[in-house]
Amino acid sequence: IECAIERLRVKTAIDARQRTGSVLGDAGSSVTAGLYGLGALEQSLPGDHRFLVSEYGGVLQRMLEGYGTTEVPAAAKERLVELVERIGALRGTPRDLVNIHSQALQRILQGASEQQEGAISAEARFVLLEALGYLAYYFRRYSVQLPF
């Protein structure tokens, strides 16, 4: 019975982390990144980070509303691309984007029921995946072509 209780406790903790999107742990690479001027946007540019969380939250909300219908509003997708390009221009990393997404999602989930949290989190993963794709495209577009 103790084993079953422990398994349930661990499963509940994992489910809670997945619902809020906080699946990344503290990797400890922030010290090395900071030495190269590549620290997290939250620490290096807190004002920009707050703005991005706020704006991304609005875009995320509009996109989540559109996922239940036939089409996501084009203006929301365009704004998502603009925000992701701004993150790239600020030398943000995928980890920064996931951090911004997680904080925006936590704001959206406040006051939602557990059933709503699950549905919102599931749809929000698609938005995050799309945003990460835009960030990869941004870096690929602006990278220096190296001969290999």
Average pLDDT, the chain: 79
Statement: residue 144 has pLDDT above 90: no
Average pLDDT over every residue of 76-83: 92
Statement: residue 146 has pLDDT above 80: no
pLDDT confidence of residue 87 = 92
Percent of the chain with pLDDT over 70: 68
As to burial, measured by CB atoms within 10 angstroms (0-12 exposed, 13-18 middle, 19+ buried), residue 50 is middle
In the numeric block, the tokens 């398994």 are attached to: 7
Of the pLDDT bands very low, low, confident and very high (cuts 50, 70, 90), residue 112 is confident
Q: Where are the alpha helices (DSSP H) in 30-113?
A: 30-35, 41-44, 46-67, 74-89, 94-109
Q: What share of the chain is helix, strand, coil (3-state, %, to 5)?
A: 75, 0, 25
What is the reported pTM? Answer: 0.71
| CA 55/CA 79 separation, integer angstroms | 9
92 to each of 39, 61, 102, how far by Cα in Å?
A: 9, 22, 15
